[in-house]
Structure 1
Amino acid sequence: MCGRYAFYEHQELSERLTNVSLDTAFFDQFRPTWNAAPSQLLPVIVEDSGKVSVRGMSWGLIPKWTKPGERPKVAPINARSETVTEKPMFRSLVKHRRCIVPANGFYEWKRLPEGKQPFYIEPAGQQLMLFAGLFDEAKMVGGDPLESFSIITTHANEAMSSLHDRMPVILDDADIEAWLDRDLTEFEPLEHLMRPVPNEAIAIHEVSKDVNNARHNDPELIEPLDQSAGPSDS
């Protein structure tokens, strides 16, 4: 599962997406976040009519059949890679509405006798992770559209497995163009992407429990926990 992540530095995006022309105008109004949480408006990369751009979407997928003013029964923040072609909420999106969710790292919690301890997982040797995602558009009251997204997860690699049995699908640079290609409507050529990254691709460290509160949002959240310090009072 991926329930919180950080996205505070986007300069590497244009360098990583070398095969596409990326419109990054959304970043002119986006504030960095070290504690991205469900329901927040967050940057998502999509392809539309041959143009790749960054758009703001709500985290937690609201399906298109949701009626204006209706509270969705579920708004999943994650989609299991093993079942995305089967579940009604996702199976059409896999064909036509794939996206990429950029992040600098994500959080996961480990169950310990004294309670849950948060850890931060970041890329080793790079600034960015590119999560595979799915998005949809629903009509809100007044007819305004709301785009929302889910992050696709797969089974955890060995390095992650002591924290959780799931992790986000993290795309290689070579996979970006195919994943965003709306003309590619068959999932079979993309199935091989639904795997965990190698252990050496990530670095993991303990962080403060301040991240448990979504109202906390500062760079200190991703800093390694000072084991000599007392426990957080939050």
Structure 2
Amino acid sequence: MCGRFALNTDVETILKQFSVASCENLPFSYNVAPTEPALCLVNNEAQITGIQMRWGFIPWYSQALTGKKPPLLINAKAESILEKPAFKQSVQHRRCVLIMSGFFEWLHLEKTKEKQPFFIEERHHELLAIAAIWQQEKDENLPSFCLLTINAHNPLVKTLHERMPWMLSPLQTQEWLREEQLSAAHLKELLAADKPIDLMAYPVTQAVNSAKYKEKDSIKPKV
């Protein structure tokens, strides 16, 4: 599961790394939490553009419920996403790519019962492209997105969590953003096309445990 990430970059870097035609103002943050804005790439009439979206969406079938607080979905398992009613329409027709500098995972310390956050990023500080889906909810200005996760095949991430964001290669990014409806066979091909990404992880300040903490040392190695 991925419950927090960072976006520490500029528009020029995004335009260059992802060959994006245009990009909205960045929702810059060292500690992005669910319900907060982030930057996603979408296919807009055969042009890739970067737009702001809100993290977490409400299943279409629960938006009409009254008297109950509907669930906010921030992650979905990529391997079974086409089988889930909450996600099927979006994954077939509304795919996007979340841009992040890196993400946080927590190590539970047995002796102290504390949670130690780790920041995980590409070793050379390249931006990560994460498979995601989106929808437009009623009475919301921004579209909302849900990021996709896969089994943690990266040994580094696996020491912290059994799941990790689905990090796409440049070719996978192109395929994911194609306008055609996604079939189960194509999804299986994309999952099988995963390439190893050279990641590094290091402990950061425990202040990150609070979603309200947004300081620069959120992504700096803990001293």
Aligned length: 217
Task: Name the counterpart of 2:122.
Answer: 123
Distance across 1 between alignment mates of 2:180 and 2:128? 24
The runs of 5 or more residues in structure 1 that have no matched partner are 227-234
Q: Which amino acid aligns with 2:188?
A: E
Task: Name the counterpart of 1:5.
Answer: 5
Q: Within 5 Å, which residues of 2 pair with 1:32-181?
A: 32-65=28-61, 66-67=63-64, 73-113=70-110, 114=112, 115-140=114-139, 146-156=142-152, 157-181=154-178
Q: Which amino acid aligns with 2:121?
A: E
CA drift at 1:8? 1.5
Q: Which amino acid aligns with 1:138?
A: E
Distance across 2 between alignment mates of 1:197 and 1:217? 32
- Normalized against structure 2, the TM-score is what? 0.89
Query: Structure 1 residues 86-95 or 48-57, which shifts more?
Result: 48-57
The runs of 5 or more residues in structure 2 that have no matched partner are none
Q: Quick check: 2:59–2:73 contact (8 Å CA) kept in 1?
A: no
CA drift at 1:59? 0.5
- Give the CA RMSD over aligned residues: 2.1
Q: Quick check: 2:27–2:37 contact (8 Å CA) kept in 1?
A: no
Question: CA 1:191 to 1:36, structure 2 compared with 1: closer, same or farther past 3 Å?
Answer: same
More helix by share: 2
User: Could you tell me the percent identity over the aligned residues?
Assistant: 29
- Normalized against structure 1, the TM-score is what? 0.85
Equivalent position SS for 2:104: strand
